[in-house]
Copies of this chain bind each other. A is one copy, B any other.
Amino acid sequence: MNEQKTTATRSLLPEPTLRRLPWYLSYVGMLENKGVGTVSSTQISKELNVDASQIAKDLSFLNIKGKTRIGYDVPTLRRSLVEFLGFECSHNAVVIGSGSLGRALMQDAGLAQYGLSIVAGFDVNPAIVGTKVCGIPIYDISELKARLEKLHVGIAILSVPVEHSQRVADLAIASGIEAIWNFTPYRIKAPQHIALANTSIYAHLAIMYNRMSHGTK
């Protein structure tokens, strides 16, 4: 598939690995909270339904070694995962399109725990430009470039209506953004050097509805 190919050329770390590492982190974090000292890949495998050899392979990207018959030291593994995934650094982001979904993201305090700090919102609607959401100011989209420079922002979160997706993405790229987190269901195009993550949450609904119609009912 196209997505996979783009990903492969961009970095050596495979996307499936990057998707699994946060699962390990959430499990290991739970263990640490419970005061568990060590965990083996077999244990993680059982709990998360991922092949043990795959887990060992994924964790080999980190600078961490498990001990034979003992496994990984839980606090060390947790810290390594957090660092490796970039969740401990603060990444400044802006939300472009401060409608329903955009505002929801501004209100989600959970993002901060994963190193994302939303510092501003942008919109074209004069009724909301100048207002604040959870203390985050909403600016007019015409101010995008100037504000991005002042705020040291690398990430644009895209939550505009689908018909504006590509145009707004182009504008963000021209304004010097490094990464786009695309929440629109549109497949936007971006140059190779732009980090692009697609999170079309609505697409997951289609999968769920399909599975439901063939499940219990």
Contacts and interface: CB of A to CB of B under 8 A. Distances in A.
A102 to B, nearest CB: 9
A217 interface: yes
Contacts of A86: 205-206, 209-210, 213
Given A197-B204, A199-B201, A209 B104 contact: no
Contact of A110 (B89, B100, B107): B100
A27 to B, nearest CB: 7
A203 B12 CA distance: 17
Interface residues of A, number: 82
A145 B207 CA distance: 25
A67 interface: no
Contacts of A10: 210-211, 213-215
Interface string A185-217: 111010001111111111111111111111111
A18 interface: yes
Contacts of A194: 215-216
A195 B179 contact: no
Contacts of A25: 185
Contacts of A131: none
A155 interface: yes
Given A29-B162, A194-B215, 10 more contacts: A2-B49, A7-B211, A21-B206, A22-B203, A26-B186, A91-B209, A115-B205, A181-B205, A193-B216, A194-B216
18 contacts: A18-B203, A18-B206, A22-B202, A25-B185, A29-B162, A30-B162, A86-B213, A87-B206, A87-B209, A91-B212, A100-B107, A103-B107, A154-B212, A178-B215, A178-B217, A181-B208, A196-B208, A199-B201
Interface of A: 1-2, 7, 10-13, 15-16, 18-19, 21-23, 25-27, 29-30, 33, 47-51, 85-87, 89, 91, 99-101, 103-105, 107-111, 113-116, 154-155, 162-163, 178-179, 181, 184-187, 189, 193-217
